[in-house]
Structure 1
Amino acid sequence: MIDSNFIKIYTGNFAVVKRIAMELNTLNINPIIKDQAESAILGGFGGTLAPDFQEVFVHKDELERATEVINNITKELES
């Protein structure tokens, strides 16, 4: 298994992931967004069962600040 310097911090729908990415970018954190459905389509395998499902990854060095952003956004969405 390859050791990665990136950690998955969130899994959810496109709208929330887009908001998280925007907030992280304002803090000069560049997230990696992984879209399983888009990858499958581009690979010629068709769609997935959850087409609105995306994952957000950040570098290990930025984990603490990124986690704060995730917590703030999810708290806001729950209220």
Structure 2
Amino acid sequence: MDSEYKKVFTGSFIVAQLIVDKLKAVDITAIVKDETESGRLAGFGSSVPGYQDVYVHQDELENAMPIVNDVTSELDN
């Protein structure tokens, strides 16, 4: 099944929240998926603790990627 949402980032909670905040500032709504928390709530563990996936709607992907790239490149320096 093909989703209308595309993953734009996978990484730490802090960086994911920074990306979400910057996307929100330009009216792009992001969805955050935290499999660790979902697994904990369901009674079993999964994936790397503290890592989250950030998704945006495919219609907003072109505008979202420069923001994601800016945030991640700032962290590499």
Paired residues in the alignment total 77
Q: TM-score, normalised by structure 1?
A: 0.91
Q: Deviations over 1:10-67 (max 9, x none)?
A: 000000000000000001111000001000011111x335111110000000001110
Gaps of 5+ in 2: none
Q: Percent of counterpart pairs with the same letter?
A: 43
Partner of 2:54: 56
**What CA distance in whole angstroms lies between the structure 1 residues aligned with 2:24 and 2:47?**
29
Runs of 4+ aligned structure 1 residues displaced above 6 Å come to none
Q: 1:49 to 1:32 in 2, by over 3 A?
A: closer
Matches within 5 A, 1:1-79: 2-45=1-44, 47-79=45-77
Q: 1:61 to 1:49 in 2, by over 3 A?
A: closer
RMSD: 1.0
Q: TM-score, normalised by structure 2?
A: 0.93
Gaps of 5+ in 1: none
